[in-house]
Structure formats: C-alpha cells, structure tokens
Amino acid sequence: MAPAVVVTGLAAEPDADLFDVVELGDTKARILSAAFRRLASEGYAALSVREIAKDAGVNHALINYHFRSKDQLVIEVLDAANRRLLARQDEMYRSPGGYAQKWAQARRFYESDLASGFVRVQAELWAASFSNLELRERFMPRLLAWKQRVRDAVGEAVASLAAKGIVLPSPFSAEIIASWISEFWLGMEMGDLLGDPHQSEQSRAALDAVEQLLAWVDERLAAQAGAAAPPPPTRSRRARSRP
C-alpha cells in the first residue's frame, strides 16, 4: 500500500505500469485502465459502465462479457493494480539496506500511489463497502492481505533485532507495531485525500520522526557489528605472520 506533499492531480499516465497488456490481453487491459481512471477522477458513485466502455473504445457488451457486473469490474481493477504494487513492496522488503532506507522507500511509493490515483481508488471502494455488503465481502480480504504483509515484515524485523540482542519491551510486539503502522497509514491516506494541509503536515512530521528512529536503530546495529568484528591486522602483525 507510501511521502511529502499532498498531491491532488493525477499523473499523465497513472496506470501505465498497472495493467499489463501481455498479462491481461489488450481489451481487458483497456477496460481496466479506463475504469481505474474513472474511479480515480470521479469516484465509485458516479462510475458508469457505458462511459468506461466509451473511454476504452469497446462495445458496452464486452464489459458485461468480461466482468459480469460493475462490482466485479472494480474488484478486478483493484486486484490488477495490487498485484503490481504488492510485488514492488515485497521486493523492497527483500532488498538489502537499513530500516530507515526502506521506510524512506515506502514513503516514495506512497507519494507515487497518491499521485497515480491508486490511493483514491482504494478509498472509494472502502467507502462504497459500508453500504454494499457484496462489495465489502470482496474488498475487505484484499485490505487485510496488505495488513498481513505489514505484520509479516515487522515480525521479521523484530525477530532480526532480537537475534542481535535488541529486544523490545514486552508491550511492543510485532502485532502492535504493525497495527500502529497500518492504521496510521490508512488515516494519513484519508487526510491527504480530503486535502487538509494541517493534517498532511502532521502526518509527514510523524513519518520523519519514525525515519529518524529507524536511522538510530541502523546506527546502533552498525556500531554493534563494528564492535564484534575482529580488528584489521596492523602492518607489524602482518610482517610477523610472513613465513
């Protein structure tokens, strides 16, 4: 599910990397792309299947053929986008680098998602789920899957710290920390979408504070690793070791 100023406009090609023609087929990719743009600019309530067909340059009947209903269409929009974005997130977790570096990368991802319209698309489906039980039953597992990814990543980080002798006090479990991160992030998204500059400023200050804390952790780990490493041999020691 990422950084520093409120972005109100959409990128020129917000979904260029989200709907792969090779993966989905040309017609389906064009329909999903058109639906994404309509959701991001007008919202779920105003979504018109006929307008999506017009934007995609396809016959209205093709949308019914591929997706059967508007709710199925919007869920597939979310799924297609999510596959790319979650793969990007997983790659970040696996990549080398300190905690602060990865936090900063997650922030850049968020700003990109905000600018592309993805954050609004997800928020629109969440809001529509309040009064649409069928949509809610399909949307919530996808939101919970993202939260689980956050819990897994935090769990791995906490376990790694413990293995290096840095054990957090008992109230600060991986589950609690992951909940702080995911619920804060969702609240930040709502504030950014509503365009409240004060809340946005406060959110960025909070993100900065966490990044500074993680940089402190990285520095402590680096110092610990340096202390544990054997000192490099001096010139005189190397001379004595020669045969």
pLDDT per residue over 131-188, tens digit each? Answer: 999 999 999 998 998 999 999 999 999 999 999 888 889 889 999 999 999 999 999 9
- 239, pLDDT greater than 50: no
State the residue for tokens 């979650």. 86
Range from 10-24, 30-44, 146-160 carrying the lowest mean pLDDT: 10-24
The CATH number of 21-221 is: 1.10.357.10
Res 68: pLDDT: 85
* Radius of gyration of the chain measured on its C-alpha atoms: 23
- Taken in order 124, 125, 126, 129, the sign of the CA dihedral is positive
- 231, pLDDT greater than 80: no
Res 229: pLDDT: 52
Q: Which pairs from 55-62 meet CB under 8 Å and 24+ separation?
A: 56/27, 56/30, 56/31, 57/30, 58/27, 58/30, 58/31, 62/27, 62/31
Res 20: pLDDT: 63
pLDDT-derived band at 19 (thresholds 50, 70, 90) equals: confident
Q: For residues 113 and 85, is the Cβ–Cβ distance under 8 A?
A: yes
Helices and strands (H and E) in the chain: how many:
11, 0
